[in-house]
Amino acid sequence: MTIKPLRKAVFPVAGLGTRFLPATKSMPKEMLTVVDKPLIQYAVEEGAGGGIEQIIFVTGRGKVRSRIISTSPTSSRATMRARGKSLTVLDGIRQKPGSPVYVRQQEPLGLGHAVWCARDIVGDEPFAVLLPDELMVGKPGFMKQMVEAYNKVGGNVIGALEVADSETDKYGIISPGATDGRLTEVTALIEKPAKGTSPSNLMIPGRYILQPEVMRILEGQEKGAGGEIQLTDAMAQLIGNQPFHGFTFDGQRYDCGDKAGYIQANLALALARDDIGPVVRAFAKTLLG
Ligand code: G1P
């Protein structure tokens, strides 16, 4: 089996951010900042750490592309440049010439459909998908750890993290086979199983390395959970035809699409900083009495 190197990553940023209203009325959820960086920047940096050269954003209707490509108004750019500050979330990231690419998901038909919108740019290569509202903190980053695993086993490798029983109906869930270190064979996948029916506690935390064949499957994919075209349902059809593994990341996950998860991320990352950590820690202590 030849393992094709991973170079491309798809960042679906077309979501409506309904779990984060009213903030998302005026701001795309990917631009919510954790301490001092937008979520999309964490995701792009994580991808770059895993060797990604070609960045593909799938944007949605009414999403302002310039907010994602350029985080500062034109008027302040010269000043920023003069002070050696970053202008966009992509600054300092090694990319293939011509990257990034933007594609448009015309209608919010689901994650599977969003990924499929990138099919022409992905072409006949393996590709990663990173969901920016899942913030992953670890050294090395999630993508780098996952790429190392992919370079050994090839095929499809997706994130696999344990959650509480009460949470399994919120996510894509893995039916696990044999486990070897951080890799687990995937025997089946189900999107948002009804409470009490989940085959395991292993959820898919929005990190994927997939073979291009999944795009052909997505082409004819019927609507699934929540009436949406689900990536999980299309991936499930690759099992048995291609190697398919779950990878358990050594690090911390924060669900920043959720208000409590977002606050936790801000607190944890602030406390870990040398500059503001001590002040925030002292404040948190008084707050908690
Ligand atoms: C999506 C995926 C799901 C995955 C989750 C991770 O769900 O469909 O399989 O576990 O992201 O955050 P969504 O959060 O869009 O409902």
Question: With a 6 A CB cut-off, is 172 part of the ligand 1 pocket?
Answer: yes
DSSP letter for 212, please: T
Atom of ligand 1 nearest to the CA of 133: 12
Question: Which pLDDT value is given to residue 83?
Answer: 73
Largest CA distance in the chain: 59
Give 14 or 73, the one with higher predicted confidence: 14
Mean of pLDDT values over 28-38: 94
* Ligand 1 neighbourhood includes 205 CB (under 6 angstroms): yes
Rounded CA separation 38/43 (Å): 9
Share of the chain above pLDDT 70, in %: 90
Closest C-alpha among 208, 178, 174, 204 to residue 188: 174
224 lines ligand 1 (CB under 6 A): no
Does 191 sit in the ligand 1 pocket, CB within 6 Å?
yes
Q: Is-contact 13 89, C-beta < 8 A?
A: no
- Report the residue among 131, 161, 175 best suited for mutation to probe ligand 1: largest number of ligand atoms under 8 A from its CB: 131
pLDDT (mean) for 52-78: 70
Those residues whose C-beta lies under 8 Å from the C-beta of residue 186, and which sit 6 or more positions away, are 156, 158, 160, 174, 175, 176, 177, 239, 244, 245, 246
Would strands 244-247 and 183-191 be described as parallel, antiparallel, or unpaired? antiparallel
State residue 265 phi and psi, 5-degree precision.
Answer: -60, -45
Does the beta carbon of 17 lie inside 6 Å of ligand 1? no
User: Atom 14, ligand 1: which residue's CA is nearest?
Assistant: 171
Contact 23, 32 (CB under 8 A): yes
Whole-model pTM: value is: 0.92
Confidence at 90, pLDDT banded by 50, 70, 90: confident
pLDDT digits (tens, 9 = 90+) for 267-282: 999 999 999 999 999 9
pLDDT at 26 over 90: no
Instruction: Give me the amino acid identity at 38.
Output: P
Mutate to test the pocket of ligand 1, among 171, 223, 229 (most ligand atoms within 8 A of CB): 171
Q: Decide: 58 and 115 in contact? Cβ < 8 Å.
A: yes
- Which tokens belong to 127? 């590709």
Please give the number of the atom of ligand 1 that sits closest to the Cα of 255: 12
For residue range 155-212, list pLDDT tens digits in order. Answer: 999 999 999 999 999 999 999 999 999 999 999 999 999 999 999 999 999 999 999 9
Q: Tokens 């395991």 sit at which residue?
A: 200
Half-sphere exposure of 257 (CA within 13 A, CB side): 14
What pLDDT does 64 receive?
A: 52
Q: Does 266 contact ligand 1 (Cβ within 6 A)?
A: no
Ligand 1 nearest atom to the CA of residue 134, by list position: 12
Instruction: At 144, list the tokens.
Output: 């780098």
Q: Regarding beta strands 37-38 and 33-34, do their DSSP bridges make them parallel or antiparallel, or are they unpaired?
A: antiparallel
Query: Residue for token digits 């052909």?
Result: 216
Domain 8-257: what homologous superfamily? Spore Coat Polysaccharide Biosynthesis Protein SpsA; Chain A (3.90.550.10)
Ramachandran angles phi, psi of 114, nearest 5°: -60, -45
Residue 172 CA: nearest ligand 1 atom is: 9
* Per-residue model confidence (pLDDT) at position 73: 52
